[in-house]
Amino acid sequence: MMKRNEIEAAGRVMVALDYPDAAAAEALVRSLEGIPCYMKVGMQLFYAAGPSFVAGLKERGYKVFLDLKMHDIPNTVKGGSNSVTKLGVDVFNVHAAGGIQMMEAALEGVEAALSGDSSLKRPLVIAVTQLTSTSQSVLNTEIGLSGSVEEAVVRYAKLAKQAGLGGVVASPQEVQIIKAACGNDFKTITPGIRPAGAALNDQSRIMTPSEALKQGTDYMVIGRPLTAAADPRAALEAIIKELV
Ligand SMILES: O=c1ccn([C@@H]2O[C@H](COP(=O)(O)O)[C@@H](O)[C@H]2O)c(=O)[nH]1
């Protein structure tokens, strides 16, 4: 039986189900049964297993973050947002780089879905700032944007806020500057979480779970430190212990 503070800590964790098919993702979900974390469905799993996998998670009472990072012309994003809102996801995202009009269109898609079905819940719509795999040198020399990663992240966060979105995806390293610029209620969802000693993989701007919590992050997205662990349930329980 989980204690109250453990339940609260588990509710901050979004498990990234980055798997090639429903069977593999389902095995991980089953191994974590009873832990009230979010399940994050990204493009790999969604392209393979589709809306029915998301519906299955919702039927079992999971909160779902659909991480499709929409980035297209406003009309297309509006349609995409409309479709994912009808799926009943709790959180979904778009790229802030699409601009204010595109982010506003995402919200219009949500409104249109809600107005057609009063049983639907309003999802939290958030914007990706700079991917947590992007380092300072890649930003400046490869992508060709001048300025610091932090400046870019805050700029994107302010655009998202101006468009009416509820938060952003960023590294835990940027939580404090985002909250300072956009307010404490503006949610931060942070991938780039690596328990001490865990492999960096392709991430660049990382923090441990307890450091991220200290920065004030609202939710932390965790994938390979769980999915590549010999015992994913034990790995998640260890992270929850670190957070309480
Ligand atoms: O900037 C971003 C945006 C999204 N992600 C996603 O989070 C998880 C992280 O997985 P790990 O295995 O813990 O690295 C993954 O699904 C990404 O698509 C991100 O990492 N950074």
- Tens of pLDDT, residue by residue over 10-48, are 999 999 999 999 999 999 999 999 999 999 999 999 999
185 included as an active-site residue: no
Place of tokens 């944007």: 145
pLDDT digit string, tens, across residues 202-237:
999 999 999 999 999 999 999 999 999 999 999 999
**Amino acid, single-letter form, for residue 25:** A
pLDDT at 177: 98
Ligand 1 atom 16, closest CA: 16
Spatial neighbors of 244 by CB under 8 A, at least 6 apart, are: 3, 5, 6, 9
Q: Is the CB of 94 under 6 A from ligand 1?
A: no
Q: How many CB atoms lie within 10 A of CB 237?
A: 16
Q: Active-site residue among 72, 86, 90, 158?
A: 72
* Residue 50: C-alpha distances to residues 43, 112, 193, 199 (Å): 9, 22, 26, 29
Distance 117 CA to ligand 1 centre (A): 32
The 3-class secondary structure across 17-67, one letter per residue, is CCCCCHHHHHHHHHHCCCCCCEEEEEHHHHHHHHHHHHHHHHHCCCCEEEE
Q: Is the CB of 182 under 6 A from ligand 1?
A: no
- Residue 69 assigned to a binding site: yes
Q: What ipTM is given for this predicted complex?
A: 0.99
Query: What is the rounded average pLDDT of the residues 62-86?
Result: 98
pLDDT at 233: 98
Ligand 1 atom 5, closest CA: 191
- Residue 67 assigned to a binding site: yes
pLDDT digit string, tens, across residues 126-148:
999 999 999 999 999 999 999 99
Residues 9-42 as b or e (16 or more Cβ within 10 Å = b)? bbebbbbbbbbeebeebbebbeebeebbbbbbbb
pLDDT at 230: 98
Structure tokens given for 19: 């798997």
Distance 154 CA to ligand 1 centre (A): 19
When pLDDT is cut at 50, 70 and 90, the band that residue 190 belongs to is very high
- Residue 18 assigned to a binding site: yes
Ligand 1 atom with least separation from CA of 132: 1
Per-domain residue ranges of the chain: 4-243
DSSP code of residue 218: S
pLDDT digit string, tens, across residues 92-123:
999 999 999 999 999 999 999 999 999 999 99
Distance CA 71, CA 81 (A): 11
Reported CATH class of domain 4-243:
alpha beta
